[in-house]
Amino acid sequence: MDLFIAIFTGTIIAATPLIFAALGELVVEKSGVLNLGIEGMMLIGAAFAFWAVIAGLPMPVAILAGALGGAAASLLFGVLALTFLTNQYAAGLALAIFGSGVSAFLGRNFGSAPIDALDRISIPFLSDIPVIGPMFFRFDPMVYFAIVMFAVISWFLYRTKGGLILRTIGESPETAHAIGYPVIRIRYLAVLFGGLMAGLAGAYLSVAYTPLWVENMTAGKGWISLALVVFATWRPLRVLLGAWLFGGMTILQLQGQALGIAVPSELLSALPYLATIVVLVIISQNRQMLALHFPASLAKPFRPAT
C-alpha cells in the first residue's frame, strides 16, 4: 500500500508542471496561434523563480517572478509572430533555443546547493484519513492550483462569451474581425496567458519538484506538454488526464530503477518520451477526431484589413 500511495502521489506531482504548460498552450492554440517555445518559457520561468528564492524573496513572490518571466518571453514570440507575421513554427523554435540559453546564463551563479522547497500543506482532519489522506490532502498548494486552473479554463472556454470569442478567432479570424473583435489584441492576451502558465510550470520545477538548479531541468517536459494538447484533441479534460498518464510514466520509470528492475536504465528513462511518440502515432490515425476540435486557423498568420 505504501508503494501504491508513493506512485499515486508522485504521479500527481510529476503531472503538475505538464498541466500548467499544456493548459496554457491549449488556450494559445484555441486562439489560432501555435507557440512551440514552451520549453524555453518553462526554463526562463524556472530560472527567474530560483533566482528569486536565493535572493531571499518569499516563495509566492518567487513563483510570481517565474510566471512573469514566462509571460515576458511569450511577449517576444507575440511580437515576432503577431506583429511582424514571422513564421510561427520558426518563432517558437527560436524561443525554445533562446530560453535555454537565457536560463543557462542566469544559472551560472546559482551553484549546486539545494533550496528550501515549497512546503506541502496538510488539510486538517482530511489529511489524517488512512490511505485517502496521504493520497489527496498532503500536496503543496501548486498541485491544487493546477486543478483550479483546469476548472477555470474549462469554464472560460465553454461557458463564457469570452471563450466563445476566443474559439471563433481560432476558427475564423476574418469573421471575428468583420464583426468587430480585435483579433490581434485577443491573440496577444492568449499568448501572454500561455507564457504565464509555462512560467508557472517552470517555477514549479525549480522550487517544488526539483529544488536544486540543474541546467535544462525541464528535460523535454515542454515538448511533452505540446504533444499533450494534440493528444487531448484540444479538450481540457483530456489534457488533465493525459498529464496524469505521462506523469505516471515518469514515476513508474523512477520506481523501476529504484526497485532494480532488470531493464536498462536508459530504456526506463526514455519511457515517458516513448509513450508520447506512441500516443501521437495512434491519435494521428484518427483524422476525424483530430479534425473535430482542431482550430481551423492554427498557425495561419492574420493581418487585419485596413
Q: What is the pLDDT of residue 73?
A: 97
Q: What is the pLDDT of residue 262?
A: 64
- Residue 301 domain flag: no
Q: What is the pLDDT of residue 260?
A: 66
- Residue 79 domain flag: yes
pTM of the model: 0.94
CA distances, 132 to each of 3, 110, 142 (Å)? 14, 38, 19
| 10-residue stretch averages of pLDDT, the chain, 306 residues long | 87 96 98 97 97 94 97 97 96 97 92 86 87 92 97 97 97 94 97 98 95 91 93 92 89 72 69 76 73 87 82
- Residue 196 domain flag: yes
| Nine cell digits for residue 49 | 523563480
When divided into structural domains, the chain yields a total of: 1
- Residue 7 domain flag: yes
Q: What is the pLDDT of residue 258?
A: 65
- Residue 298 domain flag: no
- Report whether 223 contacts 38 (CB < 8 A): yes
- Residue 304 domain flag: no
Domain span at 289: 2-293
The CATH number of whichever domain residue 130 belongs to comes to: 1.10.3470
Q: Tell me which residue of 121, 144, 123, 206 sits closest to 16, measured CA to CA.
A: 144
Which positions ≥6 away from 269 have C-beta within 8 Å? Answer: 253, 257
- Residue 94 domain flag: yes
- Residue 303 domain flag: no
Q: What is the pLDDT of residue 43?
A: 97
The half-sphere exposure of 89 on its side-chain side, counting CA atoms within 13 A, is 2
Q: Is 198 exposed, middle or buried (0-12, 13-18, 19+ CB in 10 A)?
A: buried
Which positions ≥6 away from 56 have C-beta within 8 Å? Answer: none
